């Protein structure tokens, strides 16, 4: 039975192959080809673009608390204060956060060259991800 069905299907397909070819050939003419517009500049994800601007420095307006772990004494308390008082216009504005102790100001001054300020990116600052990015070890 399987052999009969296979043979019948093969005959039907073989007979049908020759009848549709002229109709298909008419559709392939130069007037019917689909052209694809390729943008001259590839669009970039805003997060990748931001990472390209910042390099290895901590972006005070867009980084989360875990980024501050690289510098002793800054994580978690001082990092949280910086993030809660963002955005900043300049790196030096971080020194004007209300309620900083002298020790915290000294820590920030010692690390000013490790910070950068860029415009806030909504994809990085919306929600509570700056305080709790959801990375658990």
Helix (H, G, I), strand (E, B) or coil at 44: coil
Residue 114 belongs to some domain of the structure: yes
Residue 118 belongs to some domain of the structure: yes
Residue 134 belongs to some domain of the structure: no
How far is Cα 19 from Cα 6, in angstroms, rounded to an integer?
21
| Contact present, 75 and 65 (Cβ < 8 Å) | yes
Task: Give the CA distances from residue 87 to residues 60, 62, 65, 67, 97, in Å, rounded to whole numbers and listed in that order.
Answer: 7, 8, 14, 16, 11
Residue 88 belongs to some domain of the structure: yes
Residue 60 belongs to some domain of the structure: yes
Domain of residue 58, CATH code: 1.10.150.320
Residue 78 belongs to some domain of the structure: yes
Residue 136 belongs to some domain of the structure: no
Chain segment 75-130, per-residue pLDDT in tens: 999 999 999 999 999 999 999 999 999 999 999 999 999 999 999 888 778 877 77
Residue with tokens 């039975």: 1
| Contact present, 133 and 62 (Cβ < 8 Å) | no
User: What is the model's pLDDT at position 106?
Assistant: 97
User: What is the model's pLDDT at position 125?
Assistant: 81
Domain that holds residue 90: 46-125
The total number of structural domains in the chain stands at 1
């Amino acid at each position: 039975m399987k052999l009969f069905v296979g043979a019948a299907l093969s005959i039907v397909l073989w007979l049908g192959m020759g009848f549709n070819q002229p109709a298909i050939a008419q559709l392939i003419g130069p007037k019917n080809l689909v052209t694809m517009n390729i943008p001259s500049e590839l669009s970039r994800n805003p997060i990748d673009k931001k990472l390209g601007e910042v390099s290895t420095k901590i972006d005070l307006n867009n980084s989360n608390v875990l980024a501050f772990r690289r510098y002793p004494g800054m994580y978690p308390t001082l990092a949280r204060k910086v993030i809660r008082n963002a955005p900043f216009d300049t790196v030096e504005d971080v020194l004007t956060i209300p309620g900083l102790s002298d020790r915290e100001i000294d820590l920030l001054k010692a690390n000013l060259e490790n910070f950068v300020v860029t415009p806030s990116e909504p994809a990085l600052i919306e929600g509570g991800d700056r305080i709790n990015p959801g990375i658990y070890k």
